[in-house]
Amino acid sequence: MIREELYVLVRGRREKVDIKSPSGITILFNSNLFADLSKIDCSKSYTFRIPHTANNSRIFDVIEDVRVDSSLYGKRVSCEYWFDGVPLIQNGNLYLSEVSKGEYSAVMIFDVMEGLVNLNDNDISIRELVNDNTDIVKYSMDELYLQNHANYFYEYYRSDHFSNNSIQTPCYNAGVVHYGVVPDGEFPPDYNLEVYYRKIIDDERAYPQLLFPTPVMPVQRIIRKIRDHFGLSMSRRIVQDADQRDLQIMDERDPDIFRLGGIPMVSTNMDEELARKEALIFDGLGGIKKVTRTFTAITGQTETYTVEHVLQFSSAYYANPSHELITLKNDSDRVKTFSLNVHNMCLRISGKIVFSTPSGYTGEAPSISIVSIAPPRYKFEGVIELATIQSEYDDSIGRFVIDINENGWQGVFDLSGFVTPSPAEIMFAANMEDELGILLDQCTIRVEPYFDEGAAGHKCKVMPNLPDVSCMSLMKSLYFMAGGFPKINSSGELDISYFTDIRFNLEEDNIYDWSRYLLIGASGDPDNIKFTNGNLGQNNYYLMKNESVEYKESGSTDDVYGGNKADIVCENQCLDRVKTIYQFPFNGKFMVNGKRKRIPTGESIKYWEIDIRTAKASEAKPAIGFFKILRDQDLDMFGMDDLLGFEVWQMGTQYKEYEFLQELLRKPVIIRVPMRCPMADLLHIDYTKPVYLEQLNSVFAIIKVEISSSGSCVAELLKLTNNYHG
């Protein structure tokens, strides 16, 4: 005999409601094994009848009398439901929906996840999430250079990069490599993108060059905004409030899209501005040959980029690994150079150089000249000396020092109207007189672009420039990408269970043994066996946005994207042939440009293109991926190390999660069995723990368990196959 108790909190008092025995309340425990985030139960509700007794009438303030303005009219009150002495529902809500035939119809709501209800009902695009002052990108090339591979992801998250108006993180500047084409050796004099894109179409042999790196927004920051906007609570596996640097690894799973994922910004408006300003040049193998930058100061406009650019020479680049000293010679092979495409700009040079002179040196103070060199590539011709900086003897250290810091010497070069020989490039080199024996002790020079303060700065907001994907779509995608299904954990937070958790628990013998609760004997059969859950087909596809399930002839000028569709196969000839489980709102890797097939695409995202007829740019295709290291293939004179790059995610059954899901669903057998109530297990149920039933000699995954107040309990279970061990 099940003893049920129902308590409600009314008018400040906890009252015990008279309920029928049995009450008719049914509690459903539902695993989300087959569900996606939009189908997850964010609240459960049950309707049942409460008898009309004097006690209940007093509790509900005589709501059954039409004349009375009952204080419980339309109200939800807190309730508790105790099942056989176990507080099954502690934070429920109860309200009376109607009174009929002398009984109250009550609805009890529990397990409410307000945030998820909100997300389901009021979904918005991620572009509309709160955009506070901290979401402004300031671009810096320097942030792309990695000095410490072991901790590459976190290294550059420095507090000195914060200001009231901008945040720099490597994530915002991660190099999503986009290919544009620049004709060999020719920059149009006005650097007008439209014009040279027209040239590109005609000239497939043009040398492929990447245009520029694009800011990438970390997935973690977007999830935090989603969490705050909808009032969701999420477990630490999904979101953490820590700095990127401190993000803890919760699961040793690779790849971890929640922690390491990023979404590039794709909006056209942002891109055009950016394109005119910055450029990175890569060779076709993804290595870095030289760096080209374009600076444009645009006056009188708002809402565009503020570019603050910092380049750092560091003696580390020159150092022979075992010595601190370096010799600079007037030799093109040894000169550390970088090239700048400068247009209407000033340069501020600061830094410190310490010379080491041989003992007894009586010559002139060594000097450094800042020269600009206009190549064709890698050949120095037409060296123009911009400035010579004399060193001064510093008694305290006994060395000649050039100290061009803020308080010392500054060189400002106004290069507006500077005409360089074609091609319009300037290379700055720090060049030293070739004096025997003079060595450089230390050389750190910064070359900064210097804007006239009167010129209006430009800023780019992050959120509106992201792809137009809804928050719910993004969250769903993340779950599918991670290879798990959503669950609400015992703290009421949104969490993730991985498919392989089921197998892991099985291998660790971490299972529920419900044999003794089962109400069928060893010779008995389940009440019901089904071979599908109703949503499965023979082929169940997970697709990227650019893919389709059916085979389509592709046109010769169609772009080609990577990313295999994942196909979970059910070997059941009676099901529909093809079903799409989910189509991601993101494209796969951009493999081949349909119109310019010989141009390598960098296997990155399909960036914006200009329509030559209308000179309009279309937005880049949305993509999502992981941060990765972009390695310099060619450690040449530049000595450049690795850049923080980006790799597009793609669907593939390389994920163990999907391999396992395939094994789960290859021949699904779903049974329904009557049981006595395994109360202790149900109270904190873990849906990734398999269930062992001796009578059926098999192990199962839980789909759902339904208990009714009459004491009967029915479980729906999915048989686990034996094929996946090891």
Query: Where on the chain is the footprint of another protein (CB under 8 A)?
Result: 1, 54, 57-58, 62, 65, 67-69, 515-516, 518-524, 676, 694-695, 711-712
| Beta carbon nearer to another protein, 57 or 653 | 57
On whether the CB atoms of residues 480 and 586 are closer than 8 A, the answer is: no
CB-wise, 69 or 381, nearer to another protein? 69
Output the smallest distance, CB 126 to another protein, in A.
52
Decide whether 57 or 533 has the Cβ nearer to another protein. 57
Nearer to another protein, 149 or 516 (CB): 516
Rounded-to-integer distance, Cα 476 and Cα 238, Å: 12
Q: Smallest gap, in angstroms, from Cβ of residue 19 to another protein?
A: 19
**φ and ψ of 215, to 5 deg:** -65, 145
Min dist CB 694 to another protein, Å, is: 7
CB–CB of 217/173 below 8 Å? Answer: no
The minimum distance between CB 525 and another protein, in angstroms, equals: 13
Among residues 505, 473, 541, 415, the alpha carbon closest in space to that of 38 is found at: 473
Residue 529 near residue 670 (C-beta atoms within 8 A): yes
Query: Between the CA atoms of 580, 582, 584 and 588, what dihedral angle is there, to the nearest 10 degrees?
Result: -50
State the minimum distance, in angstroms, from the CB of residue 264 to another protein.
Answer: 59
Q: Which is nearer to another protein, 491 or 523 (CB)?
A: 523
Nearest to another protein of 321, 521 (CB atom): 521
Residue 618 or 710: the one with the smaller Cβ distance to another protein is 710
Kindly state the DSSP code that residue 663 receives in the 8-state scheme. H
Q: Shortest Cβ distance from residue 64 to another protein (Å)?
A: 9
The whole-angstrom separation of Cα 550 and Cα 583 is 13
- Select 1 or 680, whichever has its Cβ closest to another protein: 1
- Give the CA angle between residues 185, 191, 197 to the nearest 5°: 75
Nearest to another protein of 359, 523 (CB atom): 523
Residue 518 or residue 568: which is nearer to another protein going by CB? 518
Strand ranges in 167-321 using DSSP code E only, listed in sequence order: 179-181, 208-210, 216-218, 261-264, 278-282, 288-293, 311-312
Give 522 or 635: the residue with its C-beta nearer to another protein: 522
* Residue 490 CA, distance from chain mean position: 26
**Distance between CA atoms of residues 33 and 703, nearest Å:** 7
Residue located via tokens 């295999």:
564
For the bound state, the minimum distance from the C-beta of residue 68 to another protein, rounded and expressed in Å, comes to: 4
Integer Cα distance of 142 and 170 in angstroms: 9
Characterize the bridge pairing of strands 484-488 and 494-498: antiparallel
Q: How far is the CB of 568 from another protein (least distance, A)?
A: 36
Alpha-carbon distance 460 to 304, whole Å?
5
- Of 709, 702, 720, 718, give the one whose Cα is nearest residue 29: 702
Q: How far is the CB of 673 from another protein (least distance, A)?
A: 12
Query: Dihedral of CA 252/253/255/256: which sign?
Result: negative
| Identity of the residue, 55 or 654, whose beta carbon is nearer to another protein in the bound complex | 55
Crossing angle of helices 114-121/471-482, nearest 10°? 120
Q: Which H helix or E strand runs over 160?
A: none
Question: Measured from the CB of residue 662, what is the shortest distance to another protein in angstroms?
Answer: 34
Q: How far is the CB of 658 from another protein (least distance, A)?
A: 38
Give min distance, CB of 519 to another protein, in A. 4
Between 15 and 114, name the residue whose CB sits nearer to another protein: 15
| Residue that the structure tokens 């630490």 belong to | 236
Min dist. Cβ of residue 12 to another protein (A): 16
454 SS3 class: coil
Q: C-beta of 17: minimal distance to another protein in Å?
A: 15
How far apart (Å, rounded) are the C-alpha atoms in residues 433 and 329?
7
Q: Least Å distance between CB 665 and another protein?
A: 31
Q: Say if residues 29 and 96 touch (Cβ distance below 8 Å).
A: no
Task: List Cβ neighbours of 613 (8 Å cut-off, separation of 6 or more).
Answer: none
Q: Nearer Cβ to another protein, position 61 or 114?
A: 61
Among the listed residues 369, 500, 341, 389, the one whose alpha carbon sits nearest the alpha carbon of residue 432? 369
Tell me, letter by letter, the H, E, C secondary structure of 504-570.
Answer: HHHHCCCCEECHHHECCCCCCCCCEEECCCCCCCCEEEEECCCCCCCCCCCCCCCCEECCCCEEEEC
Choose between 45 and 57: whose C-beta lies nearer to another protein: 57
Give the whole-angstrom CA distance, residue 326 versus residue 568. 60
Minimum Å gap between C-beta 676 and another protein is 7
Q: What does the radius of gyration of the chain's CA atoms come to, in whole angstroms?
A: 34
Q: How far is the CB of 25 from another protein (least distance, A)?
A: 19
Give 85 or 189: the residue with its C-beta nearer to another protein: 85
Instruction: Tell me which residue of 41, 50, 84 sits closest to 707, measured CA to CA.
Output: 84
| DSSP state for residue 351 in the 8-state scheme | E
Give 672 or 676: the residue with its C-beta nearer to another protein: 676
Of the two residues 523 and 573, which places its CB atom closer to another protein in the complex?
523
Q: In this structure, are strands 512-513 and 691-693 parallel, antiparallel, or unpaired?
A: parallel
| Beta-bridge mates of residue 512 | 691
Measured distance CA(410)–CA(389) in Å, rounded = 10
Alpha-carbon separation of residue 149 from 152, 161, 213, 644 (angstroms): 5, 20, 20, 10
Q: Least distance in Å: CB of 57 to another protein?
A: 6
Q: Where are the beta strands (DSSP E) in 410-477?
A: 411-414, 426-432, 439-450, 460-461
Containing H/E element for 66?
A: none
Name residue 234's beta-bridge partners. 494
Residues 6+ apart with CB under 8 A from 464: 127, 131, 267
